A and B are shown apart, each in its own frame.
Chain A
Amino acid sequence: MAAVYTAPVQALIDELGRLPGIGLKSAQRIAFHLLKLPAADVHRLSAAINDAKARVRFCQRCFNVADGEWCPICLDERRDTRVLCVVEESRDIVALERTGEFRGRYHVLLGAMSPLEGIGPEDLKMKELFARLEPEGVTEVILCTNPNTEGEVTALYIARMLRPFGIRVTRIASGLPVGGDLEYADELTLGRALEGRREFATDPAAP
């Protein structure tokens, strides 16, 4: 396509368009909105992004967002270390915590397998997950990846990798909107989905 906008505007649209869930049309709309804002508002936004990026870290154990080395959930001694809930993003922890149904710990993959986005298992916190199982005495892994294509495939992959460990592997029950994100599920649905989780067997005939 021929360049329609001047280089700086096009660069802004391109950057916005790379954000998750932002298509070309939305990127254009946001870009022109930003350009109309007073300079002070734009600086506040860019400062907030820079500040968050500089100060927020990932928990050394579960990769949840944290202020220090470990996140509040990993620091909480009362949490059950035997049950581990695997999620794609930190925001999924917020959704699951709101249900009040889960008292174990989490592991954040920081994404899901998606060749279209160039994300394979090695780009996710998988090795770190497997390394936690024995030291923490984990007996059950609950796969709480999103009920969409990428989330299902990621769950399948982890389930296969967990086979040699001989621990219980469960998948959050369906009943969640298919193709959705955990983030958008309400507490009640999510609570029920967690309670009704099932044994997750991958096809034993598969290689």
Chain B
Amino acid sequence: MIVRHLELVDFRNYAAATFDLHPGITAVVGRNGQGKTNLAEALGYLATTDSFRGAPDDAVIRVGTDEAVVRATVVDGEREQLIELSLSRHGRNRVQVNRQRLQRARDLLGALRVTVFSPDDLAVVKEGPGVRRTFLDRTLTDLAVKYDALRLELDRVVRQRNTLLKQLAGRLDDADTSTLDVWDERLATVGDRFGVARGTLVERLAPMVAEAYAQLAGIGTPVELRYDPPWRDGGLLAALGAARADDVRRATTTVGPHRDELELSVNGMPARLQASQGEQRTLALALRLAAHRLVTERTGSAPVLVLDDVLSELDQQRCTALLHHLPPGQVVITTAGVLPDAAHPDAVLHIAAGAVAG
């Protein structure tokens, strides 16, 4: 996939700006605070309809205005599409493909896939299990949009079940039991499907992460991914049954995919607690790179790859290794400093104060 042309209106610090991106490597250079990451964020918005920085919609609409627009011409093989997302402070967000309005913002998913590497990726290794679940689930959505519907359904069932558990206030009579039974059955159906999807994904991803890690680190290091939630052996329905008394007492759903962990290890040690800073950073990059390659392989078209300010965080060896192993496809590199020699950009855009400086 290639974004040929990107247009921003009242998005972050851009009042109105257009960018012509090269099908190869485009370097976006500018001092901090000029709008480089905002550009990366805008591309991400078209892919996921939200901010990879976790910002609410309100925060990306330019101060003093009511609506932000991100518009792009996307080329995927023979097909060229004009996609557009409008974020509104007061009304509903709107999405359009070829000037046809889509019913829901989510219908835009799949029109553009973007892989963003950002310094925040370190969180996938260092922070709690929720960040790793999000990494897996976003990758699933990139592989097939139906997984986003499954994720939303899981969220909904868990929220409904937790609300029911709170309403029970620790007591369960016969009528409540019948009600809880059907919520369990639904959660089990959705959860088992989700568990299979995540399990298959991790199985495919694991060797690719090990390979990417070796390429980036320059040495073969045992890297493992393990997704093995205890509920999967006997199925979620049985696990919910076993946890019921506990769930009723604590008024929350204590078992299921919303509590899963993806365990990462380097040299047989848990990466989160026992790996060095350098190993953690390499692993974070390897996870992104492997997911990008898997999505490219399974969908037959490479997502647009955005390296947002990550090169400055890497030592020269890893930086060169990353650039050397960039998969074929469109790449956008943002940087505040000098581009490393190995970058070889096809085009350079200079950004200053929310405008392209030629």
Contacts and interface: CB of A to CB of B under 8 A. Distances in A.
Interface of A: 25-26, 28-29, 113-116, 118, 120-122, 149-150, 152-153, 156-157, 160-161, 178-179, 202-203, 205-207
B156 A120 contact: no
User: Would you call the interface of chain B mostly helix, strand, loop, or mixed?
Assistant: helix
Interface stretch (B6-14, B158-166, B322-330, B342-350): B158-166
B338 interface: no
Contacts of B90: 25, 28-29
Max chain B Cβ within 10 angstroms of own Cβ: one of A29, A150, A207: A207
Interface stretch (B36-44, B181-189, B213-221, B258-266): B181-189
Given A115-B161, A156-B182, A156-B185, 19 more contacts: A25-B91, A29-B90, A29-B91, A115-B183, A121-B178, A149-B153, A149-B156, A149-B186, A153-B182, A153-B183, A156-B186, A157-B182, A160-B178, A160-B181, A160-B182, A178-B153, A179-B152, A202-B185, A206-B184
Contact of B160 (A149, A157, A161): A149
Query: By DSSP majority rule, is chain A's interface helix, strand, loop, or mixed?
Result: helix
24 contacts: A25-B91, A26-B91, A26-B92, A29-B90, A114-B160, A115-B161, A115-B163, A115-B164, A116-B163, A118-B167, A121-B178, A149-B160, A152-B186, A153-B157, A153-B160, A153-B183, A156-B185, A160-B182, A178-B153, A179-B149, A206-B181, A206-B184, A206-B185, A207-B177
Contact of B237 (A26, A161, A179, A203): A203
A113 B237 CA distance: 20
Contacts of A121: 175, 178-179
A127 to B, nearest CB: 12
Contacts of B181: 160, 206-207
B170 to A, nearest CB: 15
A206 B156 CA distance: 22
A178 to B, nearest CB: 6
B302 to A, nearest CB: 29
Contacts of A149: 153, 156-157, 160, 186
B154 to A, nearest CB: 9
B149 A178 contact: yes
Counting chain A CB atoms within 10 Å of each CB, the highest count among B164, B182, B237 belongs to B182
A202 B164 CA distance: 21
The 8 A-B residue pairs whose C-beta atoms are closest, nearest first, are A115-B164, A115-B163, A156-B182, A149-B156, A157-B182, A153-B186, A116-B163, A115-B160
A156 B152 CA distance: 20
B189 to A, nearest CB: 8
